Structure 1
Amino acid sequence: MGAEERLAALKLELPAAPKPVATYVTALRVGEFLYVSGHGPLKSDGSLIVGKVGVDLNLAAGVVAARQTGLAILATLRDHLGSLDKVVRLVKTLGLVNCPADYQDQPKVINGYSDLMRDVFGEAGVGARSAVGAGSLPGGIAVEIEAIFQVKD
C-alpha cells in the first residue's frame, strides 16, 4: 500500500499547503532530497494551534499540535512532488516545542508527528530525529517542525 492509499485509508484531511511568510521557500529539492522548511500546526481552516506546551497546553494538546504540523508537512510534500508516493523515506526531523525551560516531554510531544509519518509511510516514515524545547516560536505557535525526505521522480 502506498502513502496516498494509506492517507485515504486513515481518512486524514490535509490543510492547504502553507505559503512562505518571510524570505524562504517551503521546500527545496537538491538531488534526491527534499528539505522542508519549518512548519507550524496549520489547521484546514487556516488557523494555527498556539500556546506554550506545559503552560497553556497539556501534553495531549501538544501531541495534537505536532500531528497537525505533520499534516501541514504532508500537504507541502504533495504540493511539491505531486504525490506522497514519491517519498522514499523520511531521513531527519527537527522538532521544536514552545515550552518553559524546565519542560522535559519534548520527545513525547513530537511523537504526534513521528507517529503520523509512520502511519502514512510505514517504516520508511521513521527516521533520525531531534526534539528540543524553545522559549518561543513565531506567532506563538505550539510546535515547529522541519524535515528532510529522500524522494524519487
Structure 2
Amino acid sequence: MAKACKDKSRIEFFPNCYQEVTLMETTNAPEIARGETTLIGTSIVIKGDLSCGEDLYIDGQVEGTIDPKGNRLTIGPHGRVKASVNASAVVVQGKLEGSIQASDRVDLKKSAVVTGDIATQRISIDDGAYFKGRVNIQRESPKKEVVRAAAP
C-alpha cells in the first residue's frame, strides 16, 4: 500500500524506492466543442457501427460507420478512421478513409489526411491538408411555399 510522504510530489511504495509525480498543464490540447460531447480517446479501438445523440470527438481508431445523428463529428489529430460518416458538421485533424455526408459543413484542418468522397453544403480545406476524392457541393433545399386556393 502506498504511503504519503511529507513531500507531496512523491509516493512511497517501498522503503527506499520513490516515484516522482509531476503535474503538467496541457497547453496544446485540441479544442473540443462545449456541451455534450462523447470522447473516444487515443487508446480506444472500435470496429462496427457507431451512433450517438450528441457531438462526437474521436482521437482513437474507428472502423465501420459513424452516425452522430445530425450532430458534429471531430476527428482529432491522433484519430484514425476508416468509415462512412453521416453528420451535420465534420472537422478532420487526423486521418479519415471513407465517404463523408455532412448536412452543413466539412472542415479539413492542416494536419488532415482524407481519402474519399465528400457531400456537403460548405467545405473549407486548410493549406497543408491532404485530400483525395470528389466533392459534391449540395445546395440547401428551397423551402416550398404552400399556396392555398381561395374559397369560391
TM-score clears 0.5: no
Higher strand fraction: Structure 1 or Structure 2? 2
Point out which structure has higher relative CO (alpha carbons under 8 A, 6+ apart): 1
TM-score (normalised: structure 1): 0.27
After TM superposition, the score normalised by the length of structure 2 is: 0.27
